[in-house]
Structure 1
Amino acid sequence: MSITLHEVLQSEKDVLRNFYSLYLHDLSKFTSTLEISEEGYFEFDGFEKFWEVEGIVPYFIKLEERIIGFILLLERPFLKALNDFGINDIFILNKYKGKGLGREAVKQLFKEKPGKYFVMELIDNQPAVSFWKKLYSELDIQYEEKEDHIDDEPCLIQTFVV
């Protein structure tokens, strides 16, 4: 099984919008701030910025040729200080969770883009917290962690170098 990352083209944004709605649906279990729209899907107000702001880069995660998820990477010039990259969001379809495919995608990203990273999780999102801590252990990544409130949500923020 071969995992690849494919930068999402603007012509593919409707596909990403659908995946993003699924991601926000999953995330809504851990926060009270996400609500479904009257049209019946979860939407992110800043979605169009992915193609308007340099340094916000969405990638599809593909298994063979099938899209199974995405990573939203923040990089310079969007990031101004301290970190080279931030993994803002990562999502894998439920059918593919628990098979190590998300870890493979992140490992590939780290290989292609080494530098100083930050990752943020909602404290209540224990599956995400567990995912990252297992990955750090597996890759022998030393990280620093702090708690902070981002948009009034309690979060864990880890910083590390790969």
Structure 2
Amino acid sequence: MLTLSIPYSEHVTVVLATTLAVIVAVLIHYESLMIISRFIDRSVRPHRQRILGMAFGVLVIHILEIWLFAATGWLLSEYAGIGSLEGYDTFNFLDYVFFSAVTYTTVGYGDIYALGAVRFLYGTLSLTGFVLITWSASFTFLEMQKHWMKDK
């Protein structure tokens, strides 16, 4: 017989919050890449400025997504009391940003770790970050290839 030490409602809350965060992150990513692509296509700026604008734009997108997941984890742990981060005596919001960045990029230093139902968020964050980073790498390669060929 399966017994859960964590209340079922906490699991449901974390799954719903995680699903919402993933949907928002993917939509932000898609729409932002579309905006960047249009900017590059329509811009009369020099090649270097367009490519640098794309690179900085992609970085800003990832930072926003990391902060989205940090806020989700912070709200679940600190506000709703569902799970926690461990590894230090006290945590502030920037610790959640750090942990989200380490998880999103799949670096995983191990100095901070999640306990409780909120672990689902961070496990899903790792997969989401991997997919979005890969998507950005493909986008960057295709845009650079398209515009370097056109500018020659």
TM-score relative to the length of structure 1: 0.23
Larger fraction in helix: 2
TM-score relative to the length of structure 2: 0.24
Q: Kindly indicate whether structure 1 or structure 2 has the higher relative contact order, using CA contacts under 8 Å at least 6 residues apart.
A: 2
Structure number, greater radius of gyration: 2
Larger fraction in strand: 1
